[in-house]
Amino acid sequence: MSLSIESRCIHLEDDDRAARYGAVSFPIYQTATFAHPALGQSTGYDYSRVQNPTRQQLEKTVAALESGTDAVAFATGMAAILAVMELFAPGDHVVTESDLYGGTPRLFRTVCEPRGITFTSVNFSKGMEEAAQAITPATKALYIETPTNPMMNVTDIRVAAELAHAHGAVLIVDNTFLSPYLQNPLTLGADIVVHSGTKYLSGHNDTLAGFAVVKDPVLAARLREVSKTIGANLAPFDSWLVLRGIQTLAVRMDRAEENALALAHWLQKQPQVSRVIYPGLPEHPGHELMKCQARGFGAMLSFEVTDKTYVPVLLKNVKLIRFAESLGGTESLLTYPVTQTHADVPPEVLAANGLSDRILRLSVGIENVNDLTADLTQAFAAL
């Protein structure tokens, strides 16, 4: 039978339960190597860098959730992005979204550009004109986040895919902010989806992970070869932690999104807040587009205070909400992008993206919303 996405977070539709002796929780195969039955024979597993049963179960789960043919699990989200970039050669060109998680352009600048790949950044959310003008005969990919980090810009995935394919390029989408529960870029025309599995997929701020998901078997084989060769694969125990986290992905995302909308409305009423940026608000420029290409608006929001001096006071006075990097866990986290996630982004790029030193990013967790509101109330009272 065909399962809903909520059930697919918990059950693989083609799961072979007999192969694990009826264990409800998938076993952790904590082994580096596997014995061969005889010369020229294999159990299907030889060495955990190449494949491990626990990691394979996780990869099948993520591929199913994203409607992909294959998913490759990596030690971190950055390792997954680097592996995807290894699909390109010196002389290739990539058009990227200008408002990306700060570690991504740092990777492009410090690792990819020295090996001959070039990049042009544009604002995809304003339409495809600027992106189309940036495409050259050497362009092999378009790379976007939607919504973006941290300015929550929304890009039309279908249109971006059409533009990429018209020029013989692939579309790569970082789907970390919404997770496969709320958005499936591969079904909208994207070719590769990447995730920081550390975030919503794991969901408990207790492990690092990354994924690259594809629908083309040829791309899948190339990614498998890269992962096998560079060896940045996810370990068995971490694979099990993410598997366990995904089981509650649906209920966590539903609760966190409900909380995020309530906090967005609360923040709009505060005189010290000049702007709340959340796609779930009807006035957000990407609100209607997200209703067309996603099943929800997520639990990430950013807000801008009226005075820069308010920032350290808020960060010091939140108690239930933690002042920390990362996102997507059960706990609510408050982040200051210009000194944390985007510290390596040049000031002129921050300014062009509208990311000022008065903007804070809030990853809303699954705590009781009244407790979260009370925490923000007492923190704002200190201003």
State pLDDT tens for residues 157-181. 999 999 999 999 999 999 999 999 9
315: left (phi > 0), else alpha (psi -120 to 50), else beta?
A: alpha
CB 121 within 8 Å of CB 98? yes
Confirm whether 344 is a catalytic residue: no
Rounded mean pLDDT of 290-295?
Answer: 98
pLDDT at position 1 is 62
pLDDT at position 118 is 98
Rounded mean pLDDT of 98-123?
Answer: 97
Report whether pLDDT(19) > 80: no
Report whether pLDDT(18) > 90: no
Rounded mean pLDDT of 43-48?
Answer: 94
Q: What is the pLDDT of residues 323-382, one digit of tens each?
A: 999 999 999 999 999 999 999 999 999 999 999 999 999 999 999 999 999 999 999 999
The share of the chain scoring above pLDDT 90, in percent, equals 95
Q: Please tell me which residue in 20, 45, 49, 254 is annotated as part of the active site.
A: 49
The share of the chain scoring above pLDDT 70, in percent, equals 100
Query: CA separation (Å) from 194 to 61, 141, 146, 319, 370?
Result: 15, 14, 12, 33, 34
Nearest to 259 by CA among 200, 301, 198, 306: 301
Residue 21 three-state SS = coil
Report whether pLDDT(155) > 90: yes
pLDDT at position 20 is 79
Rounded mean pLDDT of 296-305?
Answer: 98
Q: Please tell me which residue in 29, 101, 200, 310 is annotated as part of the active site.
A: 101
Confirm whether 310 is a catalytic residue: no
pTM of the full predicted structure? 0.96
* β-strand partners of 214: 70, 192
**Could you tell me the pLDDT band of residue 16, with boundaries at 50, 70 and 90?**
confident
CB 100 within 8 Å of CB 146? no
**Could you tell me the pLDDT band of residue 321, with boundaries at 50, 70 and 90?**
very high
Chain centroid to CA 52: 24
Which tokens hold the place of 332?
């609510």
Q: Please tell me which residue in 70, 92, 99, 174 is annotated as part of the active site.
A: 174
Which tokens hold the place of 197?
């599995």
Q: What is the pLDDT of residues 31-40, one digit of tens each?
A: 999 999 999 9
Residue-averaged pLDDT of the chain: 96
Terminal Cα-to-Cα distance of the chain (whole angstroms): 56
Which residues, other chains included, contact 342 with Cβ-Cβ below 8 Å and sequence gap of 6+? Answer: 101, 102, 150, 350, 355
Give the DSSP H or E segment for 369. helix 369-381
Q: What is the pLDDT of residues 269-281, one digit of tens each?
A: 999 999 999 999 9
Rounded mean pLDDT of 11-30?
Answer: 86
Confirm whether 199 is a catalytic residue: yes
Q: Please tell me which residue in 199, 215, 255, 358 is annotated as part of the active site.
A: 199
Whose tokens are 């995730």? That residue is 195
